[in-house]
Structure 1
Amino acid sequence: MIATLEFVEILDKSELLAEMVLNSEVYEEFQNAKLAMDTDLEAQRLIREFAAVKEHYEDVQRFGRYHPDYSEIMKSVRVKKRAMDLNDKVATYKIAERKFQGLLDEISQYIAFSVSDQIKVPKDGAALTDHGCGHGGACGCNAS
């Protein structure tokens, strides 16, 4: 019975936390930036162009330098990505996305470390990657 009451209390607190995140300025900024990017015709054109050339890039990657279009596709991907990244709406969205991810990472770290400081926590959106221990280098690892 106690475990059930504790479980319900945890669920209530997690719902409260989720509500706080959804009402945060960081989330609102993220949503506004996403809406602005999604409704901007130029940004959407650049995103579509980058996605199209990226498909060719993935095909070329299977063969590497031996693919006849390797140099052309590699250059084209860099040019399209740069054009997309320099668009004001896309750049604003990416900044807002990083800030929001930082908030989520900070919350995850706070929750995990309240249980044990030995828990590995994803940092900088690096969930499921092998970039250090999640303690920000506090343990002496090479966290990047």
Structure 2
Amino acid sequence: MIATLEYVEILDQSEQLGKMIMESEVMDDYKNRQVALYEDTEAQELIRAFTDMKQHYDDIQRFGRYHPDYNEIMKKVRSTKREMDMNEKVAMFKVAERNLQNLLDEISSYVALSVSEQIKAPKDGAALTDSGCGHGGACGCSH
């Protein structure tokens, strides 16, 4: 019975922490930037153009540099991404996203370290990077 009461108390405290995060200035900024991004037609066109170009990129990845359009598509992908990233709404959203991720990483680290120093927690925006294996390349993969 004690374990059950402890479990309920932990869940209650976790729920409180979740509410605090949802009501934080960082989350508020993230939500506002997200709305601004989705309402900006220019930003949406740039995102759509990048997504389309990324599909072409994914198609040629099967053949790699041996695909006849490889160099052209690679240049177009980079330039389309640069255009998208240079848009003010996209840039501001990415900053807000990074700030929110940093807050979540900090909380995760605090909780993990309060239990044991051996528990691993995400840090430095690891959740925003696509490492493939989940170890960030520490296992020796090319991630």
Cα pair distance change 1:32/1:71, threshold 3 Å: same
TM-score (norm 2): 0.89
Q: What is residue 35 of structure 2 aligned with on the other side?
A: 35
In 2, the alpha carbon distance for the partners of 1:126 and 1:91 equals 19
2:14 maps to amino acid: S
Deviating runs (4+, > 4 A) in structure 1? Answer: none
TM-score (norm 1): 0.89
Count of aligned residue pairs for this structure pair: 133
Structure 1 vs Structure 2: percent identity of aligned residues?
Answer: 62
The answer to whether 1:50 aligns with 2:55 is no
Tell me the secondary structure at the aligned position of residue 121 of structure 1. coil
In 1, the alpha carbon distance for the partners of 2:56 and 2:18 equals 39
Shift of 1:109: 0.3
1:78 maps to amino acid: R
In 2, the alpha carbon distance for the partners of 1:132 and 1:15 equals 33
Tell me the secondary structure at the aligned position of residue 83 of structure 1. helix
Tell me the secondary structure at the aligned position of residue 119 of structure 1. coil
Q: Which has the higher contact order (CA 8 A, sep 6+)?
A: 2
> What whole-Å deviation, never above 9, does each CA across 1:49-89 have from its counterpart, x for those lacking one?
00000001011111011001101100000010000000000
In 2, the alpha carbon distance for the partners of 1:8 and 1:132 equals 38
2:17 maps to amino acid: L
> Unaligned 5+ residue runs, structure 2?
128-132, 139-143
